[in-house]
Structure 1
Amino acid sequence: MVVILSPWQRWLTALRQWWDELRLPQDRCLVCGKALPPLVTVFLCRKCFLQIPLVGTSYCHRCGRPVQERRLCYHCQGAWPRYYAQVRALCLYDDPVRDWLHAMRYLGQWELAYALGELMALRLADHQFPVDCVIPVPLYPQRLRQRGYNQAELLAERIAVGNWLPLYSQVVGRIRDTRPQAGLSGGQRRNNVKQAFAVFEPTLIRGKTILLVDDIYTTGATINELARVLLRSGASKVYGYCLAVDANDHDLEVGDT
């Protein structure tokens, strides 16, 4: 059964996000609470920023995973079809980002997404993706109501605003409550998200090049399935942009995507 947020639920979600933005501390680091200088645009102090394990210059051409002396990583050498053009990530799925992501997902620390989303927005131009709009990876409606926010949408919002791109949060939805991806093999992950998404407003994406935004990239199963659905509904091309990428070429025990 297709489950879509009603206009009333959408309005409440937008109102809650607006109120959350008003409650953001404008003069404190969102990680450690240290006072920040005036007129900062990224709510992180220098110490916390320097702890972020940014992705270097040697990475897989397709998924952005760090590699050495190879154009494609181990996962991208597989035979399963890829529907996305490329994926890039801001940083590695390592400490302290691993802890920040856990807090952002499960401990209600949504404000971290604003700081990290600002960094993603600043770095997007480096990848030269010719995109027309931004779409976050959706949560299942029941999970969205339980959590109160979609961390991918918060990241996507900062990316869209920082790059003057339209944000389409309601164009695509998760129509099946999939099991957690952690602990599944690559094939199991792909089967888990198969036919889990639907495009609700195809006219908005027809002929468009789309930037899909998520928090973690591991095997790419989620972004790939979303790209397939978007292309089938008329999108021209799909790129992916994630906060963190799993740097281990063989370990599939982390993340959701």
Structure 2
Amino acid sequence: MMVKQYLNDLVSLFFPQTCAGCDVPLAYGEQLICTACWFHLPYTYAHLDSENASARQFWGRVKLEAAASYLYFKEASRVQQIIYHFKYKSRPELGLILGERYGELLKESPPFNRADVIVPVPLHPAKLRKRGYNQSALFAEGLCRAMQIPVAALCLARVKATRSQTQVNRYARHENMLEAFEIRDPEIIGGKHVLLADDVLTTGATIEACASVLLDAGAAKVSAVTIAKAL
């Protein structure tokens, strides 16, 4: 055991791991994200405000019990770097730690802590094969570890790779996204309060579609949380 620790320390000395947010070498005891980045990340505290910006984004679109995002996402920011490493640089462990951190806050915050099951937004199978993991599922697993709410990773499936949303109006975008998802096991969410988990909230079309499909399949309530909300 001591030899293994010695070898790990030696590797870290010559090839130090760097922070996913600022690319500075991590200090001893730091993991994935440095202390300075954790301190300076733009937290939304949205879980404390039922009328936060993420929740308001869905008013008149789909009935959500609640919605919140952990961080604000801006171009050329620490959060953008973290999300980039998480999604495109094979750093799945970032999703777990972000989920755990946010879960520690949400487990004390109703109505999120009253959810019965966590459902991650699914990837299309082709994208899942290419990336190797579903970033929303890892975020959901981190939430599960902190909140002690089970994850139903296979309940919701993405059955259609959607085309670009930028050239279509809101109604067409909504219809396009609705056709992309289906429920594989309605018994898991029937009569339950579902906590829907995704990575970044932008237009809201994906969460809107997933929540609509879950409610149509018998979910009693749907709340939604994301790692970040785009500004």
- Look up the match of 1:218: 202
What are structure 1's unaligned runs of at least 5 residues?
1-24, 67-71, 248-257
- Look up the match of 1:111: 93
- 1:61-80 equivalences under 5 Å are 61-62=50-51, 64-65=52-53, 73=56, 75-76=57-58, 79=60
Structure 2 residue identity aligned to 1:90? Y
Structure label with greater radius of gyration: 2
Q: Distance in 2 between matches of 1:179 and 1:45?
A: 37
Q: Distance in 2 between matches of 1:163 and 1:239?
A: 14
101, 114, 120: which one aligns with 1:136: 120
Percent identity (aligned): 29
Deviation for aligned residue 1:231: 1.2
Cα pair distance change 1:172/1:90, threshold 3 Å: same
Q: Give the 3-state SS of the residue equivalent to 1:204 in structure 2.
A: helix
- Which deviates more from structure 2 when the two are superposed, residues 176-185 or residues 44-53? 176-185
Cα pair distance change 1:188/1:102, threshold 3 Å: farther
59, 67, 86: which one aligns with 1:87: 67
Cα deviation per residue 1:2-21 (whole Å; 9 max; x = unaligned)? Answer: xxxxxxxxxxxxxxxxxxxx
Deviation for aligned residue 1:188: 5.0
How much is the aligned-residue C-alpha RMSD, in angstroms?
Answer: 2.8
Structure 2 residue identity aligned to 1:173? A
| Structure richer in helix, relative to its length | 2
What are structure 2's unaligned runs of at least 5 residues?
1-11
Conserved in 1, the CA contact under 8 Å of 2:45 and 2:70?
no
Conserved in 2, the CA contact under 8 Å of 1:132 and 1:208?
yes
- Look up the match of 1:124: 106
Cα pair distance change 1:193/1:93, threshold 3 Å: same
Aligned length in residues: 210
- Look up the match of 2:26: 34
| TM-score w.r.t. length of structure 2 | 0.79
| TM-score w.r.t. length of structure 1 | 0.72
